Amino acid sequence: MVTCFGCISLWLFLEGLFNPTTNQREPHRGLPDYSHNGTEHSLPAISILFHCQTQFGSELTMAETIAENTAKLQLDAETGEMVSKNELKKRTQKRAKKTAAAVLRNSRQASTPLPTGGQDLTNTPGGKPAKTDEATFDPDAMFKQGFLAEVYKLRQSENVVTRFPPEPNGYLHLGHSKAIAINFGFARHHGGKTVHNAEKEEYYLAIEETIRWLGFTPSEITYASDNFQRMYDLAEELIKKDKAYVCHCNESETKLQRGGEDGLTPRYRCAHAKQDVDTNLKKFRGMRDGEYAPQTAWLRMKQDIENPNPQMWDIAAYRIPKDQHPHLRTGTKWRVYPTYDFAHCLCDSFEGITHSLCTTEFIMSRESYEWLNHLYESRLLVEYQPMQREYGRLKLDGTVLSKRDLRRLVEEKVVRGWDDPRLYTLKGIRRRGIPPAALLAFIYELGVTTALTSINIKRFEQSIRRCLEKDVPRLMLVLDPVRVVIEDAEEQDLDIPFLPRDPKMGSHKIRLTKSVYIDRSDFREVDSKDYFRLAPGKIVGLLHMPYPIKAISFTKDEATGAVTEIQAVFDKDGKKPKTFIQWVPEGSPKAEVRIHAALFKSDQPKSVPGGFMNDINPDSEIIWPNAMIETGFYEVRRRAPWPEAEGEKTRECGPDSIRFQGMRVAYFACDSDSTDDKIVLNRIVALKEDSKSMGWVDFCYENSDSAGVFSVKAFHRSHRSTTVGHSHCILIVLQSCPTGLTSSM
């Protein structure tokens, strides 16, 4: 036997407690504000002492050990923290004093209603004050100050017009949501409008639907192809002014003109630039009429070959595409097509765009954009001059967003399609059940600068949790059901609130039957003193049940050894149980539950040797085909969307808008594979954020405000499962750490 000992001190920061962009500590959802009411609160930390043993035999898993020890804690329902019994008592007393003081103040205002934000004690359980909503985030903040405010100052207008041009050959992804929010939000904030440029119907329809799902409505939908003739005529005008010429240079020749492979040789303009106007007009019209094969002739703008900016090195204005497919809107009329660098500026002018906002990858293109503007000022082409400015792209770590990479995942059937919930396409995000409000809140919180914004997926998931935690109903869901027969149970209807903290959300009935189902992971055949869920002779609470239950025996399948049934009785005279678990009654609907994890194993999949396809996580989707959910699901489905969002109010909602919290499990939404007869659920996000990987173990914190249960799971990094090989946890100690103390790990 080989034994090694180690000690880990883990500061468990469950959410973003510090904002590096403002250099300030941020309030925490689920944990208290650290200067709340003038009182400093401490952040709980877990110090774990463990040892690893290389040996054979069955041992207690670390996941179970951590869960058992932390189950001794109690939930502070107001903050979401798991604290000691004494700490919870102190907090309750302090809040009671505050409540009494509030009642006294209100009583002095005999005939006046409660002020905005005041607490009405009459409609809350037990006379406790209802929890007030936290300050709402101002979605217009990024337009009132910072980069976008400065952009507006450069061109103040009473008639702001922006545009959102889609990618013509792919579906939108998370990064595009920033462009949508900026362009539509900028125009809305300044009382203007946004034009949506579309072209290919295959993607346009999906893009328009996504824009409306996010709560925005284009004031006008335009097509670049409607301006093909106008742009062609202006290209001829450019030739007549000796500002463009037809070139026959191939790729290697053009590269030499631009300084060679290494860019060290002198740049020069090709001989075709010396052609006279009539020759260039004749050749350009020949390109239009099909006299030249694809890629043998192209129209170049005559710019400034000595300029250090490559976008000024006589870039292309028109090309003959290699693949001559009929255009969706113009058919076979055109054989030559304008480039983005030519069409962008002109279409912005045609449509009266005041602020053309795009990402910084186009910052060098601004000079060629403004070069055409200069021609406008000279009245060589058109009169109206739009303005281009660039903001930093949004990059998400731990995934891939490029169309080429996404297409490969789809075509090689690594994922179901462009809308697979593991992808960060906007179709995938929607199918996963992420609310549009969460997506926009995430963008607004990040703000806008010219710097690249690189964000970890976990931060995005925190925005999703904040959106869901107060506005979706709670239901009981069992992933791996095992029958429990309560011998002395009497059937009755129980009235269950959808969200205990919000009575306005209503309630639903659930039938207490003699046989119920609990999750198999909540039962253990052999008890131990530090285990608080169900075991022979052990008492556990069932959520919303009138009494806890006590297991008295169980039966097993002789062939598999799996527990098939647990016999139990009500414990009517015992103490309050230390743990409550979820359950569903006999006859509850079955569901297929898909638990999605990260599609890739690393934060930088494209940096992995061999490419991102070598970084695929084989456990990115786990399916529970025989899960059970309580019948309250049907009421939740009928009343969807949850939460109600602007983009889901006025049109028929899809199954992804049926969102709820599966108590003690995760947040879920219905998948598009659902039918009237089959419920298919996708996990939107876990209940609490996974902490950073520590050594050879990844820690996951989960908490249910309704269940009063705290659990921690440990994962061996190499196995990615709750079984930690031959290692096990020896001791877990909860400590109290002073506010502001940071970890060096």
**Structure token pair of residue 201:** 């119907």
Angle, to 10 degrees, between the axis of helix 436-446 and the axis of helix 174-189?
80
Q: Which residues of 16-51 are buried (b: 16+ CB within 10 A; e: fewer)?
A: bbeeeeeeeeeebbbbbebeeeeeebbbbbbebebe
Question: Any catalytic annotation for residue 393?
Answer: yes
Task: Provide the sign of the torsion angle of the four alpha carbons 26, 27, 28, 33, taken in this order.
Answer: positive
Measured CA to CA, the distance from residue 647 to residue 650 in angstroms comes to: 7
Write phi, then psi, for 365 (nearest 5 degrees). Answer: -70, -15
Measured CA to CA, the distance from residue 496 to residue 670 in angstroms comes to: 21
* Given the residues 95, 285, 403, 524, the one annotated as active site: 403
Candidates 459, 458, 461, 480; CA nearest to 469 is 461
Question: Can you spell out the DSSP letters for 426-449?
Answer: HHHHHHHT--HHHHHHHHHHH---
* Given the residues 393, 458, 483, 578, the one annotated as active site: 393
Question: Any catalytic annotation for residue 167?
Answer: yes
Torsional class of 146: left (φ above 0), alpha (ψ -120 to 50), beta (otherwise) = left
Q: Which residues of 138-156 are buried (b: 16+ CB within 10 A; e: fewer)?
A: ebeebbeeebbeebbeeee
Candidates 741, 643, 627, 745; CA nearest to 681 is 627
Cβ-based neighbours of 380, under 8 Å, separated by 6 or more: 237, 238, 241, 243
* Given the residues 40, 134, 150, 167, the one annotated as active site: 167
**Structure token pair of residue 144:** 């009132």
Question: Can you spell out the DSSP letters for 26-93?
Answer: ---SSS--TTGGG---PEEEEEEEEEEEE--S----HHHHHHHHHTTSEEETTTTEEE-HHHHHHHHH
Measured CA to CA, the distance from residue 604 to residue 146 in angstroms comes to: 30
Measured CA to CA, the distance from residue 565 to residue 18 in angstroms comes to: 48
**DSSP conformational letter for 453:** E
The β-bridge partners of 566 are 484, 554
CB 654 within 8 A of CB 213: no
Which of helix, strand or coil describes residue 666?
strand
Cβ-based neighbours of 472, under 8 Å, separated by 6 or more: 499, 642, 643, 659, 660, 661, 667
Question: Any catalytic annotation for residue 458?
Answer: no
- Rounded to 5°, the CA angle 623-628-630 comes to 140
The β-bridge partners of 709 are 704
Which residues are the active-site residues? 167, 393, 403
